[in-house]
Structure 1
Amino acid sequence: MTGYGDTYYARTLADASQRHSLAGTVKADVAIVGGGLAGLTAALELARAGRSVVVLESERVGWGASGRNGGFVGPGYATSHANISRMVGSERAEALHRLSIEGVRIVEGNLDGLGMTENKRVYGKMSVLRYHDPESLARQCEMLKRTFDYHVEVMQADAVRAVLRSPKYFQALYDSASFHFHPLNYARSLAKAIEDLNGKIFEGSRVTGCDFDGAEKVVRTERGEVRARDVVLAGGGYTDNLVPRLRRSILPIATYVLLTESAPEKIAQAVLTPMAISDNRRAGDYYRVVDEGTRLLWGGRITTRTTEPRRLAEMMQKTMASTYPQLEGVRVETAWSGLMAYARHLMPLIGKLQPGVWHVFGFGGRGMNTTAIGGRVIAEGILGTSDRYRLYEPFSLAWNGGPFGVAAAQLTYWTYQALDRAKERQAARAA
């Protein structure tokens, strides 16, 4: 795993301070295990409501997927609205999608309300097809407008290729309300806001044991413990065997990101928009220009192999150049990997494990909005102000299948890749 300090986001932090590790016994209303965006959002919501909170993070705030991702903020989940409707019915699926839209608003509200002036938002996201199918995009636009009063537009292929100079692209869905930003700065700003409300955050404090049987829960680290009425487990892709049932419910999936060298002239020949870009393939590419258009931040590919490939930078550069041949020869300055947590049903795992013990993780690569709403509904559950967390109850802590589940997940991904390639070849022949 590439170290936290080597990532682009870590090198461009507005706040690089490090916090103390836990020592001794601390009491609180709520103990939160995991200093990623889900745990931090829950902690902030609870602190705003006057609850005392303690966050325990094994590394540093935002160290995992929360601080290593593409920084895209938009509604939706890792699986489609149509799939969610098939699983839980249209009424519940619509309520869940509205929560995902609310998640975007939570992030915007935090950026505005906490005065995060160092975290520039760039609005606009293009979801690009790699084959010709404007009719499906038009249907999606109509459904979002009719059902959610959410407005997106279809960009035709000529408009797409005017700003994305790749022959692989056709139409795109343009969402003006989605945006991208610096996710690690956001996580660090949430942490500061929690501390401003007298919440406590301890870094370098891996949880080694727990006792959830009593009314007062105990969470232990190597040098201390937290005693609290409620515990929130928010470990994401780095969830370990502290609670075996949680670990058995996810597949840790690795994803890869690169940052190019400064190459403004070449990048300007390929990507002529500051917007966030993703394609429609399963585990497809996502990218955006950074540093005033001088570099490209590019992510994509997933694998069940959680160790970092030795030739990661070279592998990622080939992926980028296959989409934009004009970027051939542009060096990769740095590349890193991170672990995402996927459940078999591809939906977040949000709910109550037992009285006083809550979980919020498993965002499947769509965590910028779902960590926000997940943290909020768990906080509401603890506060007793709503039971909206129960909307996620149908997506249970199903066994991941162990090694067979890992193999099945990798096989499924390869199958999707083969189907994607077949569609692209068909599109190329038709063109």
Structure 2
Amino acid sequence: MTDAAGYPANSYYVATANGIEPVSPLMGDEKADVCIIGAGYTGLSAAIHLAERGYAVTLLEAERVGFGASGRNGGQLGTGQRHDQETLEKELGDEWAARLWELAKDSVATVKGLIERHDIQCDLKPGVLHAAWKKGDAEWLKEEAAHMQDKYGYDQIRYVPRDEIRDMVDTDRYWGGNLDMGGAHLHPLNYALGLARAARSLGVTIHEQSRVVDISHTDPAIVKTDKGSVTAPHVVLACNGYLGKLEPRVAGMIMPINNFIVATEPLSEADARKLIRDDVCVQDTKFVIDYYRLSADNRLLFGGGENYSPNFPKDIAGFVRKPMSLAFPQFKDIRIDYAWGGTLAITLKRMPHFGRLAPNLIYAHGYSGQGINMATLGGKLVAEAVAGQAERFDWMANLKTPKFPGGTLLRYPGLVAGMLWYAMKDRLPG
């Protein structure tokens, strides 16, 4: 369900959005150096970085800027890749893992740099707390913090023991955690809208409500909507969970899934500080994670629960209240003022999927819940690749991304079975 402006209804982010622009659909035929499909973080970042290099860019969006996961997510700006560095070292070797860490560092710096450079008002605040849901999780979090400090010289992360984490977050559910002050949290839709304003200021043409229906396999390519076309030597696919059937050659590499968030009534300043003492964002170690933070007006923004169908639950507030009440029993009856959901794309290995379908057709998607930093970086790497500087793009593109078993038609049953298994494990002691 959408509101009159074409954005998701009952979203706190939409209710507090800064400066939504009037819609300007594509009408007729245009030419550009690069045509980007999708106005989320990947597409907007690519547009900015390409325009800064002197390219004429047209960006086509089927709905509104930030309509998808970019305007609906939990607002947590992580500092790493989707996998921890020790896992990447075991799978890829130390050299490749170190390259991916350098990219991850650049991803956070790029987000913060764009916000500062373009004066994007998006409530950016420091700190991410990764909390151990199970006793056994606390030990590997402690090892992770030590590993990042010792091997990578990363001094912004530290382990928080159980007695201290109880002072930081008003729950007894956690056994410890890692506090990463290099990470941050922000208002995700206002970040996307700010990126769009920055892109327009650099000369990028953005057409909303302009769904692409066909991309020709020619050079230059012709990108068609139902009311016009864009002819361009380069095309960028930046659709993520909303790719649909537009490009079957990569659709089977990603799986759209839905996640849900609520915003409670505003808390008093004293209650907000008691709930999350240092105003950091929090995520736990469950497979189907809970993630939450305080808004600028002291609401608890709590995300939890997933589903794997095209439809959202009829009662999103009730759906999310269950995991929220497990973490915070004292809030089981708190008033919920906003409840919404969004679709993201995961890959089988939970690492982003970058690549080329032709010399002039490039894509980046599948951020698997790590989208604010990695999608922003994805757009920057896409711009580098279009400009002929593809080394860093290829570090990501060379990651092996298998198709989901069964392709786009049969992938859901296997995913649901797997998710149910991990959800059951979340409930077991350990």
Counterpart-to-counterpart distance in 2, 1:199 and 1:127: 38
Residue 407 of structure 1: aligned partner:
413
CA contact (8 A) 1:98 1:148 kept: no
Q: Is the 8 A contact 2:129 2:280 kept in 1?
A: yes
Is it true that 1:282 corresponds to 2:287 in the alignment?
yes
Distance (whole Å) between structure 2 residues aligned to residue 252 and residue 43 of structure 1: 24
Is residue 366 of structure 2 the alignment partner of residue 362 of structure 1? yes
**Contact 2:162 2:174 (8 Å CA) reproduced:** yes
What is the DSSP-based 3-state SS (H/G/I as helix, E as strand, rest coil) of the residue aligned with 1:297? strand
Q: Please give the secondary structure, in 1, of the residue aligned with 2:99.
A: helix
Q: Does 1:129 align with 2:143?
A: no
Within 5 Å, give how 1:413-424 maps onto structure 2.
413-422=419-428
Provide TM-score, normalisation by structure 2: 0.93
Relative to structure 2, which stretch is displaced further, 43-52 or 6-15?
6-15
How many angstroms apart in 1 are the aligned matches of 2:20 and 2:162? 43
Classify 1:154/1:417 alpha carbon distance in 2 versus 1 (closer, same or farther; 3 Å). Answer: same
Measure the CA separation in 2 of the matches of 1:321 and 1:269.
17
Q: Distance in 1 between matches of 2:85 and 2:202?
A: 37
The verdict on how the C-alpha distance between 1:16 and 1:277 changes in structure 2, with shifts beyond 3 A counting, is same
Residue 406 to residue 83, structure 1, CA distance change in 2 (3 Å): farther
* Secondary structure of residue in 1 paired with 2:282: strand
Q: Is the 8 A contact 1:18 1:60 kept in 2?
A: no
How far did residue 248 of structure 1 move? 1.8
Tell me, yes or no, if structure 1 residue 170 matches structure 2 residue 171. Answer: no
**Larger mean Cα displacement after TM superposition, 83-92 or 39-48:** 83-92
Which of 91, 94, 97 pairs up with 2:98? 94
* Residue 61 in structure 1 maps to residue 80 in structure 2: no
* 1:160-198 Cα distance to aligned partner (Å, 9 max, x none): 101212121121100111111111111111111111111
- For 1:127 and 1:260, the matched residues in 2 are separated by 22
Gaps of 5+ in 2: none
| CA RMSD across the alignment | 1.7
* Further displaced range: 344-353 or 88-97: 88-97
Structure 1 residue 300 displacement after superposition: 2.0
Report the CA distance between 1:130 and its aligned residue: 1.6
Q: CA deviation at 1:373?
A: 1.4
Give the aligned partner of residue 429 of structure 1: none
SS of 2:135's equivalent? Answer: coil
> Which ranges in structure 1 are unaligned for 5 or more consecutive residues?
427-431
For 1:420, the aligned partner's letter is D
CA distance in 2, matches of 1:315, 1:269: 25
1:144 is aligned, of 148, 160, 166, to: 148
In the aligned structure 1, how far is the partner of 2:92 from the partner of 2:335?
46
**Segment drifting more, 240-249 vs 195-204:** 240-249
Shift of 1:234: 0.5
Change (3 A) 1:332 1:90: same
Shift of 1:418: 2.2
Instruction: Give distance in 1, aligned partners of 2:90 and 2:357.
Output: 25
- Cα offset, 1:268, TM superposition: 5.3
3-state DSSP of counterpart to 1:123: strand
Selected match of 1:203 from 204, 208, 222: 208
1:313 aligns with 317
- Could you tell me which of 190, 196, 207 is aligned with 2:195? 190
Please identify, of 329-338 and 299-308, the stretch whose mean Cα deviation from structure 2 is larger.
299-308
Encode CA deviations 1:65-95: one digit per residue, 9 max, x unaligned.
0010111112223333344334332321221
Greater shift after overlay, 91-100 or 38-47? 91-100
Contact 2:132 2:141 in 1 (8 A): no
d(CA) in 2 for partners of 1:340, 1:420: 21
Contact 1:154-1:172 at 8 Å conserved across structures: yes
Q: Quick check: 1:270–1:324 contact (8 Å CA) kept in 2?
A: no
1:189-216 CA distance string (max 9 Å, x none): 111111111110000000011102x221
Deviation at 1:146, TM superposition (A): 2.8
For residues 83 and 239 of structure 1, the distance between their equivalents in structure 2, rounded to whole angstroms, comes to: 29
- The answer on whether the counterparts of 1:88 and 1:394 sit within 8 Å (CA) in structure 2 is no
Q: Which amino acid aligns with 2:287?
A: R
Quote the sequence identity (%).
31
Measured in 1, the distance between the counterparts of 2:170 and 2:135 equals 16
Are 1:350 and 2:354 matched, yes or no? yes
For 1:302 and 1:312, the matched residues in 2 are separated by 11
